[in-house]
Structure 1
Amino acid sequence: MAGNKSLVVSILEAKCPRCREGEMFQYSPFNLAKFSKMHDTCPNCHQKYEVEPGFFIGAMYISYAMSVGLLLTIGLVLYHLFDDPELWVYLVTVSTVVVLLLPFMFRYSRVLYLYWFGGVHYQQKDTTLKQ
């Protein structure tokens, strides 16, 4: 059943878009020194992740959208639930949350960009036995 993962589960687990089994990143997002290290190819199906030179530069747009959404969400929560605190509270809160979520936003912007714009299509494993 591992070869039949759903699209959402594969994205959340940062798996290869072609086989949905191979890891895209070499290290855990909690390894702050190496969270950005990607495999060049899928360890399972050998799909090349960077489909052209500089491909992941476009992931910055997804990262930017995530950052803006995060900024707006934090701003609205602080404004409505904490009765519009002083400016320094906004700055410290937003800065802290962005720094804490940076490894996840970096990784998922790349994962989403590869899934949406990489031109890589899922190839389901053939589980039937051929004789």
Structure 2
Amino acid sequence: MLFGKGSKLNSIFKMKCPRCQEGDFFISHPYSMKNIGKTYTYCPSCGLKYEKEIGFYYGAMYVSYALGVALFVTCWVSINLFFPDSNVFLQIGVISGLSIFLSPYLYALSKIIWANIFFSYDPEAISKFKESSKS
């Protein structure tokens, strides 16, 4: 069950709450320039507070760096494999263009990956939240 409910990959690629995997993690789409990278304070479905402490998402910079390096290596190897006669300026242009184009998505991806490192799936989170909000 690689992408099924309960897996970290389900939460990451659907950009859902790491705990209940139903509530949205981000306020809007990663390419919405008005709300780029903004997360909800609490999960709308299970009430999880997304920011454990002030500055919690500073650690996502390391994940973002790793994603950027992976993008660079993937592009560089692909260009050299499929277009062996390409010059270095083409490689720099393609890698720079892709990095700029994908940066909002990679930023959002790094935040959701970082959150999934620290929060785990709880299938009963929504029912617990609804039960506690009744009292």
Q: TM-score, normalised by structure 2?
A: 0.82
Identity %: 32
TM superposition outliers: structure 1 runs of 4+ over 4 Å: none
Q: CA separation in 2, counterparts of 1:114 and 1:74?
A: 27
CA 98–45 in structure 1, closer or farther in 2 if over 3 Å, else same: same
Contact 1:78 1:84 in 2 (8 A): no
Ranges in structure 1 where 5+ consecutive residues have no aligned partner = none
Matches within 5 A, 1:35-114: 35-114=36-115
> How many residues were matched structurally?
122
Residues in 1 aligned to 2:100 and 2:33: alpha-carbon distance in whole angstroms: 11
Structure richer in helix, relative to its length = 2
Q: Please tell me the residue identity of whatever aligns with 1:122.
A: Y
Equivalent residue for 1:124? 123
Output the CA distance in 1 between the equivalents of 2:68 and 2:57: 17
- RMSD across aligned C-alpha pairs, in angstroms? 1.8
What's the CA shift string for 1:53-111, capped at 9, x where partnerless? Answer: 11111011111111111101111111121114222111110111111111211111111
Distance 1:63 1:84, change over 3 A: farther
Provide the C-alpha distance between the structure 2 equivalents of 1:57 and 1:115, rounded to a whole number of angstroms: 14
